[in-house]
Structure 1
Amino acid sequence: MRLLLVRHGETPSNVNHLLDTAVPGPGLTPLGEAQAAALPEALAGEDIEALYVSTLLRTQLTAAPLAAARGLAVIVRDGIRELSAGDLEMLPGHTPEGERYLRTVFAWAAGDTALRMPGGESGAEALARYDAVVAEAAASGAGTVAMVSHGAAIRVWTAARADNVDVAFAAARPLENTGVVILEGSPSDGWKVLSWQGATVAPAGETGPAGEPLDTEA
């Protein structure tokens, strides 16, 4: 299966650098709406057969133009919502407490899945819910699936599950709003990242360390 993980469009909390992970969350800014409107053209070359979104409003608003352009039903699943900030909810991301959020979630990707977000979920719980939606999509038989999800969730799940991307790669490369990570594989055979926000990603073991970009053209 070809899996397109798409970050939602810009929100007011993105502009203010806040850890905003609770359901239903904010809508899109005018720029976010424009980013969503541009998605159908940006993904024109993809033969998308199924379109998933999270329970957060911003993913549903981002997916709406794509769904309309392709005549696709939107499948809402809680499992691909953002990684919960727990007690850190609505803190500025650049503060020491806010930075604890990313340290925690990337520790999950590195294998410390028993670690729990203060007042929130554990890595095991977060990855399991994301895995379940990906497994559902794979079982559907669709050749290409798009999931409009969230920046931290996409980066952490990809670092944890893709054979050719490691934590250092994902941690160093934040996703822009409506940025896309494209993977290929299956839950049984594993996953490899084909491209990260437009840059081709090297297969592990072929041209250097895992996740080394081959082509940095966006």
Structure 2
Amino acid sequence: MRLLLIRHGQTPSNVDGLLDTSRPGAPLTGLGEQQAAAIPEALAGQRIDHLVVSPLLRTHLTAAPLAADRGLEVGTDVPVVEGLEEIGAGSLEMRNDPEAHRAYLEAAFAWGAGDRDMSMPGGDDGHAFFDRFDRAVREAIAGAGAGAAGADPDTTVAIVSHGAAIRVWVAAWADNIHPSFTAENDLPNTGIVTLEGSFESGWTLADWLGTPVGGAALDDPAADDFSGETLDEVESDAHPDAAVDRRTLD
């Protein structure tokens, strides 16, 4: 089967670099609305058997144009799945300084590399994140009417979720990449990650979209969107003269 992991559109918190992970979360900016509006055309002709969103507002607003295009409504035909929300920032919540960005992503990417005992400052460890995100993805797959093994390889589930959560989950589950891949490649707002396979047979990364679905014209290089940036970029912001420590990613 196929998973489309769609990052939400731009929010004011993305522009300002805020660690905004609590509910209900920020709405979309005007650019974020344009990004969301581009999703239906980008996925035109793409089979989607089930579309789900996280509990945070920005995923609902991002999914709405695609849902409308498919004759669906968020909250009824498009269910809210608990567990698909962003990685909680703990005591870093609503900070926007480079040191907080670095601490957040270093903990998160350590989980993707296998160190699930590490805790987010004032928050959960990696075990808690994977327990709830794995459970949520399984629930989304079940909602498509697919068995756990995804018997129909063409069954497609679209999940609108969050930058750090998608990147860390893919780092741990995609069996054809090194875990560092997701830390070394941007995932901008409305970037889509495509996985093929199942929990039983394993997941393979089929595509990583490093631009918004509408292309570079809908990107915002001036935004402080750290959760979509590479770890090198975030490290450079926090410590411009320091070498990047890759120990957690090897």
Q: TM-score, normalised by structure 1?
A: 0.87
Superposition deviation, residue 98 in structure 1: 2.4
Instruction: Pick from 148, 161, 181 the counterpart of residue 149 of structure 1.
Output: 161
* 1:76 aligned to which of 57, 60, 80: 80
> What SS does structure 2 have at the residue aligned with 1:96?
helix
Q: Which amino acid aligns with 1:90?
A: M
Which letter does structure 2 place at the counterpart of 1:145? V
C-alpha offsets along residues 166-186 of structure 1, whole Å, 9 cap, x if unaligned?
Answer: 222100112111000000011
Please name the residue that 2:185 is paired with: 173
> In 1, are the aligned partners of 2:25 and 2:56 still within 8 Å (CA)?
yes
Indicate if the aligned counterparts of 1:54 and 1:77 stay in contact, CA closer than 8 A. yes
Kindly state the Cα deviation for residue 198 of structure 1 after the two structures are TM-superposed.
6.3
Match of 2:95 among 91, 102, 110: 91
Relative contact order higher in (CA < 8 Å, ≥ 6 apart): 2
State how 1:22-101 maps to structure 2 within 5 Å: 22-72=22-72, 73-92=77-96, 95-101=98-104
Select which of 97, 106, 125 maps to 2:128.
125
Task: Please state how far the C-alpha of 1:120 moved relative to its aligned partner.
Answer: 1.2
SS at 1:114's partner residue? coil
CA contact (8 A) 1:138 1:187 kept: no
Moved over 6 A (4+): none
CA contact (8 A) 2:54 2:80 kept: yes
**Unpaired segments of 5 or more residues in structure 2?**
147-154, 212-250
Partner of 1:197: 209
Counterparts of 2:6 and 2:45 in 1: how far apart (Å)? 15
In structure 2, the partner of 1:112 is: 115
Distance 1:157 1:165 in 2: 12
Contact 2:21 2:89 in 1 (8 A): yes
What corresponds to 1:160 in structure 2?
A: 172
Of Structure 1 and Structure 2, the greater strand share is in 1
C-alpha distance after superposition, 1:140-159 (max 9, x if no partner): 43510100000000000000
Q: How many residues align?
A: 198
Q: One-letter code of the match for 1:126?
A: F
Contact residue 54 and residue 83 of structure 2 kept, 8 A = yes
CA distance in 1, matches of 2:195, 2:56: 23
Q: Cα offset for 1:114?
A: 1.5
- Structure 1 residue runs without a partner (length 5+): 200-218
Identity of aligned residues (%): 59
- Cα distance in 1 between the residues matched to 2:112 and 2:210: 22
CA RMSD of aligned residues (A): 1.4
Q: Would the aligned equivalents of 2:5 and 2:161 in 1 still touch at CA under 8 Å?
A: yes
Match of 2:169, SS state, is helix
